[in-house]
Amino acid sequence: MKKAAGAYILAISASLLVFAILLFPQQSFEASLQGVHIWFEIVFPSLLPFFIGTEILIYIGVVNFVGVILEPVMRPLFNTPGCSSFAYIMSITSGYPTGARITARLRQQGMVSKAEGERMLAFCSTSGPLFISGAVAVGMLGYPSAGWILLSSHYLASITAGLIFRFYKHKEIHINTSSKPSRLLSRAISELYNTYIQNKEPLGQMLSRAVSSSMLSLLNICGFIVLFSVLINILDLTGILDIAAVVMDDSAVAKPFLAGLIEMTIGSRMLSQLRLPLWDKLPLISFIIAWGGLSVHAQVAAVTSISDLSLTPYIFAKIIQAITAALYASIFTNIIQPAYQPAFSDAQSWLTIAAHSGGLFIISVIAVLTISIAIALLNHIKVIKL
């Protein structure tokens, strides 16, 4: 009965959307172009290096290597295996939906249990510094220093959600990837070697697989961005956003805030254009970025569809992230309120964004490997002394 009701609701909603597009063809076309522009100019060059790179690293066993070494760190904090550190670092450096995609791939490879994967989704789904510092702080607000407040609030909120969700299904048996301290480094190297041998294939074939898989995911993301861009435009044209804003009793803030709940980029831009003090805008924008919007949730649903992970705990985690991010931003803005001096910069080119993204990916991988090797060596020295 519930499935039938869901099918009817979906059919009616899709029919209304198509009718609205036919009713407003020009406006829908322009909204579609805006969505494609956002995807091609920002999302595509930002995520492509990360998607291809992580596919290769998972395939050759680097993630297994990192997972074995960082197990003693991630397990006590988040009750997740060591490989979750890789998903988290890739998420905070590249943004939505990279962390969710890596989590789904790790689940598909059998490296995490279902409960562990759902715990990972609670904190491994974040926006990236390119969007927060570049697009929002500089491009929309015209104030680069606001990026530090938004970044700090956002990542602290994700850690808070991860610490809370460590208790989610904590009694379930997890996949045992722990090892004795004396064998930590040797087992990590063994895991890397065994994975590489097991998946070994010609370099060209491996690169082709990584590129095709990454492009398919990015095209799915493009579709969701365009769809929700059109949806927001239709809700605005039909006055639904205005009605909802009146119900919320604050039409000036409510309308862009509601738009942000659907698509965070459009909502952040609308909020940044409000005639409000900067410090009143930051908590609202921080909430929207941490929530991600229905567009991001649809992208996460798409990239996790290859696994059996449930999105219910993920949605609750995003609510926690959004609330705590707004609270953190409020605290930081009350502590630090320097003079607001707009500082606009020229729009970055496609190649510039791609180069920045590729650089961030390389730095992230080097950082993860450096931390992992340092922990392994310190552990090895400690064992020898004992």
The SS3 assignment for 274 reads: coil
H-helix or E-strand containing 263? none
- CA 260 – CA 254 distance, rounded (Å): 10
- CA 29 – CA 43 distance, rounded (Å): 20
Q: Are 281 and 137 within 8 A, CB to CB?
A: no
Total-model pTM: 0.81
Mention every residue, 6+ apart, whose C-beta is less than 8 A from residue 7: none
Task: Give the pLDDT of residue 1.
Answer: 57
Rounded to the nearest angstrom, the gap between the alpha carbon of residue 285 and the centroid of all alpha carbons in its chain is 16
H-helix or E-strand containing 188? helix 184-199
Task: Give the pLDDT of residue 297.
Answer: 93
Task: Give the pLDDT of residue 179.
Answer: 46
Nearest to 91 by CA among 105, 112, 77: 105
Q: Are 364 and 54 within 8 A, CB to CB?
A: no
Tokens at 26, concatenated = 């020009």
Task: Provide the total of helices (H) and of strands (E) in the chain, helices listed first.
Answer: 18, 0
Biggest CA-to-CA distance, the chain: 76
Residues 127-162 pLDDT 10s: 988 788 777 887 778 777 788 889 999 999 999 999
Residues 235-282 pLDDT 10s: 888 888 777 777 766 667 888 888 889 888 888 888 888 888 888 889
Task: Give the pLDDT of residue 323.
Answer: 96
What whole-number percentage of the chain has pLDDT above 70?
Answer: 85
- CA 329 – CA 334 distance, rounded (Å): 9
Mention every residue, 6+ apart, whose C-beta is less than 8 A from residue 206: 56, 59, 60
Number of residues written out for the chain:
386
Mention every residue, 6+ apart, whose C-beta is less than 8 A from residue 270: 255, 256, 259, 260
- Listed ranges 196-200, 304-308, 326-330; the one with the highest mean pLDDT: 326-330
The SS3 assignment for 53 reads: helix
Residues 65-109 pLDDT 10s: 877 787 788 888 898 988 888 888 888 877 888 889 889 988 988
Residue 164, number of CB atoms within 10 A of its CB: 18
Per-residue confidence at 283, pLDDT binned at 50, 70, 90? very high
Query: Among the listed ranges 112-126, 204-218, 272-286, 292-306, which one has the minimum average pLDDT value?
Result: 204-218
Task: Give the pLDDT of residue 373.
Answer: 76
Give the dihedral sign, CA 67/69/71/76: negative
Q: Are 210 and 199 within 8 A, CB to CB?
A: no
Task: Give the pLDDT of residue 343.
Answer: 46
Please list, residue by residue across 103-124, b when 16 or more beta carbons sit within 10 angstroms of its beta carbon and e when fewer do. bbbbbbbebbbebbbbbbbbbb
Residues 16-65 pLDDT 10s: 878 888 888 898 889 889 888 878 877 788 778 878 887 888 778 777 78
Task: Give the pLDDT of residue 353.
Answer: 67
Amino acid at 16: L
Q: Phi then psi for 72, rounded to 5 degrees?
A: -65, -15
Amino acid at 3: K
Per-residue confidence at 345, pLDDT binned at 50, 70, 90? very low
Q: What integer is the mean pLDDT of 191-217?
A: 79
Q: List the end-to-end C-alpha distance of the chain, in Å, as a whole number.
A: 64
- CA 286 – CA 342 distance, rounded (Å): 19
- CA 257 – CA 240 distance, rounded (Å): 13
Tokens at 268, concatenated = 């952040």
- CA 235 – CA 240 distance, rounded (Å): 5
